[in-house]
Structure formats: structure tokens, C-alpha cells
Amino acid sequence: MSDEQVPVSVITGGAGFLGSHLADYLLAKGHQVVALDNLITGNVANIEHLAGNKRFKFIEHDVTEYIYLPGKVDYIFHFASPASPIDYLELPIQTLKVGALGTHKTLGLARAKKARFFLASTSEVYGDPLEHPQSETYWGNVNPIGPRGVYDEAKRFAEAMTMAYHRYHGVETRIIRIFNTYGPRMRPNDGRVVPTFIVQALKGEPITVFGEGQQTRSFCYVADLIEGIYRLMMSDCADPVNIGNPREMSVLQFAEEIIRLCNSSSEIVYKPLPEDDPKIRQPNISKARETLDWEPTMALEPGLEKTIAYFRQLIEKNAI
């Protein structure tokens, strides 16, 4: 394949948890990959194994600023954003800016390069949902001025901006709404239940459950998500699509499963429920099944075992 025929993909947030896994996947598919990240929550350790790969390039850049890239670009995957409650509560302005200005800049690049644009949106656009499970036609129940509103509304705005560029400028766009995803390379201190519970269990510390632990989540393994992302980008579907695992379980059940798989002596302790924390979260993935012929294949236990092994290695290296 000549250089002109090699597809060029740009990933914003390319040193993050999802962005780095997507880079691996695209390189395996024969793409040339340019990863952009300002490292505010990303980590070069996630992509250091790609050093020396001639088809991979990393550029430290804040995508809320003008983006200049020479040469052709075929696909743009916009993943840049703080993505955990701890991050966007500590970085509220940056979260809003990357959802608004960052999406605007990357859409501008897509228009200039005549590239297909992919927005990594989130199940958080549904807020604390009144519909269960959540389908793409549900408009959500979001508190725009609550502490989580900076992330929820940034992603809702990003979706609106993406559709505006699609309708007004004719940019080819794709939108995914990502539900809870887990796997190796998650940040140990990002505040989400998977890394928090695993690290606590491996260290024998109390596992902190908010409320009574009856709020539900649905956990999708990262490899399944990345496969869905690629299929959506290569499809002709411009409307938002949910990608996630519809297997729903309570946070308390999840904590008990982590304790069992880690063979841990940790006890469960309860803390007050954070403001606007969603009580239920489960994707309706009928659209992904019908449009993309996609559904998750990784069962929870083997997926968690891979993730636990990753965090155990970090603890052994005294990295956390």
C-alpha cells in the first residue's frame, strides 16, 4: 500500500485511556495515527510502547487552540476531555472549553481536510434518566447548573455543534454515546468505581460505596467499545449511537464482585451520595445491533481479571 493509500487518523485525547487503545486498534488496521493530547489527564505511559512506530506520531497540543496538521487527514476521532467526576469537578472550565472550543476546532480541521469526524460523547447526556434503559431518542434529564453539568452540557453542546457542521457544512460526522467502560490503562486515581474499587481491594483498604450502593451501572470492556467505535466510524450512520454493555448491576454488587476476584479482605464502607449522581444507567443497544451488527462479547469476570492484573502490576511497581 502506497503512502497515498494509507488512511490517516487523528485522535484527540490520544494519550488517554480510550484514545491509546484506539491508537493500537487503528495501527493494527494499517492506519497512520496522529495522537494529540495536552496531557492534562492523559499519560504518555499509555502510548510509550508505540515509540519508534513509524506510523504513529504524538503531538502535545491543546485542541482548544488552533490545530495545524500538514498533509491529508481521513478520519478525526475527538476524544479529548476530562472524563471522570474527579477530573471535571477539579477542571470545570477546561472541561467546558474542550467540549465547546475543542469540538469547534476539530470540526474545523475535519471540514478543511474533508475528513470524517467522530465525536466521543457519553451516556451522561442522559443525566439522571427518567427513561430506563436509555435509548438514543431520549433527550435526557440534566441539571445544567449542578456540579456535573460542566461535563454533561459540554458533551450535549458538542453533539449539537457536530450536527450543525453535518447539516450546514456537509461534514461527514459520527456520534457515539459511551456507557461505563473499563480495562487496563484507566487512571488509578480518577475517581471512577472500577479503578477505585480495584485499588482499594488490592491494598486491603475499605471499599467506599456511595449511598446504599443501589445505583446501577453497566460495564463494557474496552476492547468491545473500541470495536464498536471503529464500526460506527466506518458506517453511514450520522445519528448518535449508544455503545455499552446492557448487563446492569448495582454498585454494591460490583463492589462485592471486586472483593471476590481480588481475594481481598476489604470491608465495604458507605459515604453520602454525590449531587446529581445518576441512579440508573443501562444502554439500549438495539440501534448498535441493527446498524453496526455490534454487541459486547467480553464477559464481566474475564474483563475484570485483565483489569485487576494491570492494577496489581502498578502496585508492585509502586506506581500507585
HEC-encoded secondary structure of 74-138: CEEEECCCCCCHHHHHHCHHHHHHHHHHHHHHHHHHHHHHCCEEEEEEEHHHHECCCCCCECCCC
Helical H segments across 168-296, by residue range = 193-202, 222-233, 251-261, 286-292
Pair 30, 49: CB distance under 8 Å? no
Q: Does the annotation count 151 as an active-site position?
A: yes
CA distances 206 to 67, 110, 265, 270, 304, Å, are 45, 47, 9, 10, 19
Starting at the edge strand found earlier in the chain, the sheet holding 241-243 runs 56-60, 32-37, 8-12, 75-78, 116-122, 173-178, 241-243
Q: Which of 75, 126, 151, 221 is catalytic?
A: 151
Active site residues: 151
